[in-house]
Structure 1
Amino acid sequence: MQKAILAASACLFAMTAHAQDLPEKYKTAGKLIVANTPNYPPMEYRDPATNELVGVDIDLGKALAKQLGTEIEWSEIGFEQMVSSLNTGRVDLVLSGMSDLPARRETMDFVDYMRSGAQFYTSAKRKDEFKTLTDFCGKTVGMSRRTSFPDEAAKWSAANCEANGKPALNIVGTEGSADARTQLKQGRLDGAVQGSETLPYLLTLEKDTYAIVGEPFTEVYQGIGFSKQTPELRDAIAGALKAIMASGEYKAIFEKYDLAGSTLDGVMINGEAVK
């Protein structure tokens, strides 16, 4: 049934996306209200010097809005409030480093726009202790409790630590990625996990402070989130994304933040490629 729904959505998108036309409701408003939490560089953050909202998602949102002939009003709300704000109509869409997960698709639709993954890292002074991912077995590792990382790390631990007779990860849910990094610096954690797209920026911002260990242990798409009640808006955004992919503007945004390797080759809705 779900495959049929996705196929129908893809067909609808193929028929309508070329128009890149906003539904009348949003044209009349003259803007899109977009949920964002600016604490996840380089995806979204405030420039320390100017307090200006910057990042991949910010640049992408502006490019999509321009393509659609409208404006963006950023609504800064807590990540845990985003789904309820979307489904009650407080915001029109979510563009804030949100992973397109099967569980989230039960209440939301996604237009996917980049690749991501959960990545282990440690402090630079302890990098020689962690040559492989399984060196974290039995160690205390922190990650934001508001993300999917704790569940994903537990599954990884079961398959790679416990299944091989090694002690399980001691997973600590933190108040966010910044809190995990603080605890890592304080020596309260042996390692941490956050999105692979954030770590290159972090290493340039705080040189000789952290060390990435191995490759990401999950693969996931980041998506722009929509209420299931607004498929027309979803398809309009997907059409705009297709246009900026074709023009090269999409690639340029990711290259600006050294994330060219995270780009997608085409538009995807709920993890499925569409034409």
Structure 2
Amino acid sequence: MIKVPAKYQKKGSLIVATDASYAPMEFIDKDGKTVVGMDVDIGHAIGKILGLKLKFENASFDSIIPALQSGKYDVGMSSFSDTKKREEVVDFVTYFSAGTSFYVKAHSDLKVNGLDDLCGKSVAIEKGTTQVDDANAQSKKCTDAGKQAVTLLVFPDQNGANLAIASGRAQAGLADSPVAAWIVKESRNQFKLTGAAYNTVSYGVAVPKGSDLAAPLHEAINQLIKSGEYANILRKWGITQGGLKESKVNDAAE
């Protein structure tokens, strides 16, 4: 039996923040209100092990970590890449791994084989993601090398970025690899992937820095992995390639 802190046992639930615009990880179902996705399925499976109900609330991605710090939410589960910078203010319990992929309109001649190919191009990205940092850093490299800067269009959610590419406002998009693959798959030949994914990192369940929830979440995820239920959830969403053999706490490489 995994020991759950008394205050959560008493409450019987955890409030989980997620940005439900990032399919197949977290998104709004066809009923227009229910949050579904791989993260949600893993969250509910964790809750079952801990004897807690996980209540998912939709929030803008860049607001989640500050809201964890203020105590508004107990947990953030929204495809967060575990980075050293984020570990300064929250703790992460890893549960998946993903890189970043590029995608463009299906009939585009643009080939993006790496960040270097973005010089002089316009890209659409969701606010608060690591891809925004990547594009800004690359833009500086472009101008330092005497090339044109990257034109960065930042949107409150992933849907806005997709619309910008579809309408021609942006030439390319950057998103986590399983998300980019899903966007292409569900776009009915509107988009295509280009180049290879880069910078594979772990996703982590985020909790306030020093939270006593990290240990039970860590135990629960490893229990899910060992039982085979974790693999079944990944298989359901078609993203088994990102599966972990073991969950870790604060596993950022950089």
Q: TM-score, normalised by structure 2?
A: 0.91
Question: 2:248 maps to what in 1?
Answer: 268
Question: 1:27 maps to what in 2?
Answer: 9
Give the deviation of 1:49 after TM superposition: 4.5
Question: 1:4 maps to what in 2?
Answer: none
Question: 1:242 maps to what in 2?
Answer: 222
CA separation in 2, counterparts of 1:141 and 1:58?
Answer: 29
1:218-233 matches, within 5 Å, as: 218-230=199-211, 232-233=212-213
1:192 aligns with 2:176: no
CA separation in 2, counterparts of 1:252 and 1:262?
Answer: 13
Amino acid at match of 1:241: I
| Pair 42,23 (structure 1): closer, same or farther in 2 beyond 3 Å | same
Amino acid at match of 1:136: L
CA separation in 2, counterparts of 1:90 and 1:141?
Answer: 33
CA contact 2:174–2:180 (8 Å) conserved in 1: no
Give the deviation of 1:149 after TM superposition: 1.3
Give the deviation of 1:129 after TM superposition: 2.9
Q: 1:105 aligns with which of 84, 87, 106?
A: 87
Q: 2:186 aligns with which of 188, 200, 205?
A: 205
Give the deviation of 1:233 after TM superposition: 1.1
Question: 1:7 maps to what in 2?
Answer: none
Question: 1:115 maps to what in 2?
Answer: 97
Question: 1:257 maps to what in 2?
Answer: 237
CA separation in 2, counterparts of 1:68 and 1:131?
Answer: 44
1:61 aligns with 2:46: no
- Give unpaired runs (5+ residues) of structure 1: 1-18
Counterpart secondary structure, 1:271: coil
Give the deviation of 1:40 after TM superposition: 1.0
Give the structure with the higher percent helix.
1
Between 254-263 and 41-50, the greater mean CA deviation after superposition? 41-50
Give the deviation of 1:172 after TM superposition: 2.1
Counterpart secondary structure, 2:178: coil
CA contact 2:103–2:193 (8 Å) conserved in 1: yes
CA separation in 2, counterparts of 1:78 and 1:132?
Answer: 30
CA separation in 1, counterparts of 2:63 and 2:147?
Answer: 37
CA contact 1:114–1:264 (8 Å) conserved in 2: yes
CA separation in 1, counterparts of 2:199 and 2:61?
Answer: 21
Counterpart secondary structure, 2:107: helix
CA separation in 1, counterparts of 2:180 and 2:88?
Answer: 30
1:46 aligns with 2:28: yes
- The structure with the larger Rg is 1
Question: 2:133 maps to what in 1?
Answer: 151
CA separation in 1, counterparts of 2:102 and 2:140?
Answer: 16
Question: 1:214 maps to what in 2?
Answer: 195
Give the deviation of 1:260 after TM superposition: 0.4
| Aligned-residue identity in percent | 29
Give the deviation of 1:210 after TM superposition: 0.8
CA separation in 1, counterparts of 2:14 and 2:127?
Answer: 29
Give the deviation of 1:88 after TM superposition: 2.3
CA separation in 2, counterparts of 1:217 and 1:272?
Answer: 16
RMSD: 2.1
| Pair 219,33 (structure 1): closer, same or farther in 2 beyond 3 Å | same
Between 67-76 and 253-262, the greater mean CA deviation after superposition? 67-76
CA contact 2:234–2:240 (8 Å) conserved in 1: yes
